[in-house]
């Protein structure tokens, strides 16, 4: 415990490049952090000098402060997180805080001081502060060296209008833009490895993500639905998913399998999925669809087949993993924390009624003709009506009241329909 108030300085990069609308991005990030750090002893969060400062309750211990900073670092829009202290604008106090901050920075051999004053009413300039505080650190850590270029630790000292902020431990964040600053998208979310990563990548670009999971139920068990819920809970930790629609798709796949040529089944499944996702996107006022497809990874992901599925909808379809190989996607899933969940076996619609030799180079006229015998519009309406909804904690999402068995829908992580 320390007599200094602990703080977490949240640095951002991309937001800082914005022009007149920069304040709206900062405000969105601040609100996201307020909500996601609610379990921690946060007093308030303020904007200061191109960053956000999280003030922790006096007496907060080191472990709690570290845990809070790690949560903050995983929030989209955060480039770097520094842990330190607030103290008076007094050189002796600043030096004492710097010694304490450096002692909590972990293992290091070299360091430097980077001091600056944001108000000239503080008499001591930056160079002199560097010398005075650096001298105190050398005296406290005689076995450590000073290195001006690429030190192991940089001790930051910032003098603002009414206080000073001193920090040393600094960890990288995920970067990007705050969720809620780039509109809304609907993500086709399976229990596999790829689509959760694709969803996270769009959230990291500031989009509010609405998931749509196509379950093989009632032709298969509902095991995939529970895995998708587990994946959504992982994404929820940093506000990266707002809602998931679960669509019981198995009977419609069976009807397709009985009607269309076997080699076109997969394309017909996906065209119907896209149409249902587009209808749900209209309900949510979302501007695009998102999939986890990677070019050439499976039969449905060739250029011709991608064109054949995109033809089913008017909305743009984003594929953030299109040029990424499987090993890269797995590494991303491991960092995200979804890989172990996605590695569990569960029957889902992706493997239901699969043909032995799926078409890899579909021709649009052939696809459209095969689809023309299906009651697609009726099916889309039925599937949208049958979709079951589950909400997750996303600070940037304000759900509208919805019609379902539970009558819920006013936010939070309330479960409906399949409770």
pLDDT at 408: 37
In a domain, 405, yes or no: no
Number of structural domains the chain divides into: 2
How many whole angstroms from its chain centre is CA 137?
Answer: 38
User: What is the C-alpha separation between 368 and 268, in angstroms, rounded?
Assistant: 9
One domain, residues 159 and 194? no
**CATH code for position 326:** 3.40.50.620
- 261 burial level (CB within 10 Å; 0-12, 13-18, 19+): exposed
- 120 burial level (CB within 10 Å; 0-12, 13-18, 19+): exposed
φ, ψ for residue 40, nearest 5 deg: -100, 160
User: What is the C-alpha separation between 61 and 40, in angstroms, rounded?
Assistant: 11
One domain, residues 190 and 248? yes
In a domain, 403, yes or no: no
- 407 burial level (CB within 10 Å; 0-12, 13-18, 19+): exposed
The first and second tokens of residue 217, run together, are 């139920």
One domain, residues 193 and 68? no
pLDDT tens digits for range 232-259: 999 999 999 999 999 999 999 999 999 9
User: What is the C-alpha separation between 137 and 99, in angstroms, rounded?
Assistant: 6
**CATH code for position 64:** 3.30.2130.30
Q: Which of 149, 172, 195 is the last residue of a domain?
A: 172
In a domain, 89, yes or no: yes
One domain, residues 218 and 363? yes
One domain, residues 161 and 194? no
One domain, residues 296 and 333? yes
One domain, residues 317 and 223? yes
For residue 409, pLDDT over 90 is answered with: no
In a domain, 329, yes or no: yes
H or E element at residue 248: strand 243-248
One domain, residues 153 and 209? no
The first and second tokens of residue 380, run together, are 């889309």
Known binding-site residue numbers for ATP: 188-189, 213-214, 270, 292, 301
Letter string b/e over residues 312-335, b meaning 16 or more CB atoms within 10 A of that residue's CB? bbebebbbbbbebeeeebbebbee
How many whole angstroms from its chain centre is CA 118?
Answer: 33
pTM for the predicted model, two decimal places? 0.88
Known binding-site residue numbers: 188-189, 213-214, 270, 292, 301
Q: Are 397 and 384 in contact (CB under 8 A)?
A: no
One domain, residues 39 and 136? yes
In a domain, 24, yes or no: yes
Which domain covers residue 384, as residue numbers? Answer: 184-391
One domain, residues 109 and 203? no
pLDDT tens digits for range 302-319: 999 999 999 999 999 999
Q: What's the CA angle centered on 216, arms 212 and 221, to 5 degrees?
A: 115
User: What is the C-alpha separation between 163 and 9, in angstroms, rounded?
Assistant: 14
**Direct distance between the N- and C-terminal alpha carbons of the chain, in angstroms, rounded to an integer:** 44
pLDDT at 349: 54
pLDDT tens digits for range 351-403: 656 667 777 889 999 999 999 999 999 999 999 999 999 999 999 998 866 55
One domain, residues 297 and 269? yes
């Amino acid at each position: 415990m320390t007599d200094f108030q602990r703080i977490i300085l949240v640095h951002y990069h991309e937001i800082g490049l914005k022009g007149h609308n920069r304040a709206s991005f900062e405000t969105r990030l601040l609100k996201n952090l307020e909500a996601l750090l609610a379990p921690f002893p946060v007093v308030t969060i303020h904007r200061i000098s191109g960053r956000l400062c999280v003030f922790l309750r006096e007496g907060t211990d080191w472990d709690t402060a570290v845990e809070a900073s790690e949560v903050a670092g995983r929030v989209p829009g955060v480039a770097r997180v520094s842990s330190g202290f607030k103290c008076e604008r007094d050189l002796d106090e600043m030096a004492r805080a710097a010694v304490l901050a450096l002692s909590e920075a972990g293992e290091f051999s070299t360091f430097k001081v980077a001091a600056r004053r944001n108000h000239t009413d503080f008499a001591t300039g930056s160079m002199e502060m560097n010398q005075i505080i650096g001298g105190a650190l050398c005296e406290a850590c005689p076995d450590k060296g000073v290195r001006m270029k690429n030190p192991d630790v940089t001790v930051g000292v910032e003098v603002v209008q009414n206080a000073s902020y001193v920090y040393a431990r600094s960890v990288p964040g995920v970067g990007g833009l705050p969720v809620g600053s780039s509109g809304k998208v609907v993500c086709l979310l399976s229990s596999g490895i790829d689509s959760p990563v694709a969803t996270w990548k769009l959230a990291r670009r500031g989009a509010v993500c609405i998931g749509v999971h196509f379950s093989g139920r009632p032709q298969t068990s509902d095991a995939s639905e529970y895995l998708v819920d587990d994946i959504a809970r992982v994404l929820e930790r940093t506000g990266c998913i707002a809602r998931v629609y679960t669509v019981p798709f198995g009977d419609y796949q069976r009807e397709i399998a009985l009607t269309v040529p076997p080699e076109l089944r997969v394309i017909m499944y996906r065209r119907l999925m896209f149409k249902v996702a587009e209808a749900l996107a209209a309900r949510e006022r979302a501007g695009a669809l998102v999939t986890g497809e990677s070019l050439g990874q499976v039969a449905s992901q060739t250029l011709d087949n991608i064109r054949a599925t995109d033809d089913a909808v008017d909305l743009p379809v984003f594929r953030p993993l299109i040029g990424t190989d499987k090993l890269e996607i797995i590494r991303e899933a491991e960092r995200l924390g979804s890989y172990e969940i996605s590695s569990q076996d569960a029957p889902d619609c992706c493997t239901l009624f699969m043909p032995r030799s799926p078409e890899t180079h579909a021709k649009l006229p052939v696809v459209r003709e095969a689809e023309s015998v299906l009651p697609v519009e009726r099916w889309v309406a039925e599937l949208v009506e049958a979709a079951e909804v589950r909400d997750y904690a996303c600070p940037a999402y304000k759900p509208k009241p919805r019609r379902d068995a539970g009558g819920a829908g006013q936010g939070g992580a309330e479960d409906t329909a399949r409770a």
